[in-house]
Amino acid sequence: MISCKKIAVLTILGLLVYSTNFAQTIKLVNPILSGFYPDPSIVKVEKDYYLVNSTFSYFPGLPVWHSKDLKNWQQIGNVISRTSQMDFVGERATRGLFAPGISYHNGLFYVTCTDIDHEGNFVVTAKNPAGPWSNPVKLTQVKGIDPSIFFDEDGKAYIVYNSDAPNNKPLYSGHRTIKMCEIDAIALKTIGEEKIIVNGGVDITKKPVWIEGPHILKRNGWYYLYAAEGGTSVNHSEVVLRSKSVWGPFVPYDKNPILTQKDLPDDRKNPITSTGHAQFVEGPNGKTYAVFLACRPYTGDYYNTGRETFIAPVEWQDDWPIINPNFKEVQYTYSANYKEVKQPNALPQSGNFTYKLGFEKQLDPALTFLRSCDSSSFSLSKTAGLTLKLKPETLMDFGVPSFVGKRQQHLFCSAETELNFSATNHNEKAGLAIFQNENHFYFLSKSMQDEKPVLQLLKSNTDGKTIEVLASTTLEGSAKKVQLRIDAKGEYYSFLYATTSNKWVVFKDKVDGKFLSTHDAGGFIGCFFGLHATGSATKTNNTASFKYLKYTGNNLFYK
């Protein structure tokens, strides 16, 4: 029986016209996760989608996202949420956890990942993707990065990953391989010997570099091995090979790459670059989509938001997948014929948005610490907000400073807070930072100089040891409270303060933002706005309180 609620039958000039009353459309807005959310891996379980990202040396590690529609995402937890699982003390901000892979089989979620400096490759499991996740189990035979588990139809499981050249003798710089071995998904141990299934890349005679981020998909009797190629900068791309056997041989698609932006004009408007590290997933409409990383530079190859998570449709042509099939440029929006399902109480992650975080009971899961969580160094309350103890660690150190960070998610945005703090000497400082790494940050801080309260704008030096004072002013009166704000304007930052509520004074304008770009700072991460307090070179019981953290992002080209 056909329900009359779904189909209306109209008679017009003797013709039958059928119309769908409840046709649904959704607009997917890129990036779907704005800011430093790189290396996405995604899995669909029934009608739910779960996605994880790299976090490098930030803690908690590996955010877990949930969605019903691939557009509206809510962070439901973190894979590495306990210091007993691991921490990253002593590691640079751009080390730590590299690309994770999430999968699901027989009621259990799996995440594989690489702790590049300490644990190596490992796997964790959970029955609920929100957590708790198990302690890491080391995969000692898996030598390399970017591990991903594939479950075949016969129940066997395989782990595929980036590894070194054959016999560890590269033919050229960037020569890598994709290796695979079977894995016991219950005992969490590899089985048998690993095998090279891709050497170098699509065509080793052309010296392809950094084949990485591999995944396997089975469809219509074919095993598809797809991976990133070309490095993580502007030459980043996605390629695909296929075989009738999970062990290969894998034959490359003659129209590779299936996704890249490297050949497009440099002067195009609002460019998206560095696309790759993709994973396929079936959408709510039964069609295939790819999530992948990409960058939004404000000029050239300069961007401060890091590598972000994007989405694009996939079209299958002659049993080969093509990402973004109808366009050369990755689009900022795509329309699809299925229903949008919003996430209640979720912070927005795409398009233009603003929100204000309070600190009454718990920290939002998107907020992060550096390297580990020192629960003794902060407290939360309705009256004071977030109170940080002044610790001797600074942002230049590789320890665990008093720091709570929130990602910069737009090229044009602002972050502000209200600080309640009185320094007792010139070493005590508290305020709002914009942080890229230990050698590349600005710190708008309240301190003391000549026994008077002062506001200072500090800039890290690339030697990792010294700080430059870019601006300083004496704060009149004895009030402890001051509002602080940092505005990002593409390649510039502006620093503002207010001693009277919301009456902002420009403290320092047009400060060099390229200093904080991945291009200049190096590594794989993006910028964070950070609430920070330090009692450098002193032992102190002093504290600093932050009433709120407000964020506003407005990229003008979003509609």
pLDDT per residue as tens digits for the range 228-279: 999 999 999 999 999 999 999 999 999 999 999 999 999 999 999 999 999 9
> What DSSP letter does each residue of 448-485 carry, written as one string?
EETTEEEEEEEEE-TTSS-EEEEEEEEPPSS--EEEEE
* Mean pLDDT across 323-337: 96
Residue 481 has pLDDT above 80, yes or no: yes
Who's near 487: CB < 8 A, 6+ residues apart? 413, 414, 493, 494, 495, 496
**8 Å CB contact between 528 and 368:** yes
* Mean pLDDT across 150-173: 97
Residue 283 has pLDDT above 70, yes or no: yes
Catalytic residue among 87, 91, 146, 212: 212
Residue 391 has pLDDT above 80, yes or no: yes
pLDDT band at 411 (very low <50, low <70, confident <90, very high): very high
State the distance between the two ends of the chain, measured CA to CA, in whole angstroms.
42
Residue 370 has pLDDT above 90, yes or no: yes
CA–CA separation, 530 and 331 (whole Å): 31
pLDDT band at 540 (very low <50, low <70, confident <90, very high): confident
Fold matches, 26-336 and 353-553: no
CA–CA separation, 125 and 136 (whole Å): 8
Residue 43 has pLDDT above 70, yes or no: yes
Please indicate whether residue 95 or residue 267 has the higher confidence score (pLDDT): 95
**8 Å CB contact between 62 and 55:** yes
pLDDT at site 23:
59
pLDDT at site 104:
98
CA–CA separation, 32 and 50 (whole Å): 13
Residue 559 has pLDDT above 50, yes or no: no
**8 Å CB contact between 139 and 107:** no
Mention the CATH class of domain 26-336: mainly beta
Block residue for tokens 């070493």? 427
β-pair type (212-219, 189-199): unpaired
Residue 3 has pLDDT above 50, yes or no: no
Residue 150 has pLDDT above 90, yes or no: yes
**Encoded amino acid at 38, one letter:** P
The three-class DSSP label of residue 314 is strand
Give the CATH fold of the 353-553 domain: Jelly Rolls (2.60.120)
pLDDT at site 17:
36
Q: Could you state, in order of their start, the residue ranges of all structural domains in the chain?
A: 26-336, 353-553
* Mean pLDDT across 528-548: 89
pLDDT band at 465 (very low <50, low <70, confident <90, very high): confident
pLDDT at site 162:
98
pLDDT at site 476:
83
Residue 9 has pLDDT above 60, yes or no: no
Please indicate whether residue 295 or residue 20 has the higher confidence score (pLDDT): 295
229 is a catalytic site residue: no
39 is a catalytic site residue: yes
Q: Kindly report the average pLDDT of the chain as a whole number.
A: 93
Could you list the beta-strand ranges (E) of 116-249: 120-126, 137-138, 145-151, 157-163, 177-184, 189-199, 212-219, 222-229, 237-243
pLDDT at site 480:
86
What is the CA angle 269-272-278, rounded to 5?
Answer: 160
Residue 1 has pLDDT above 50, yes or no: no
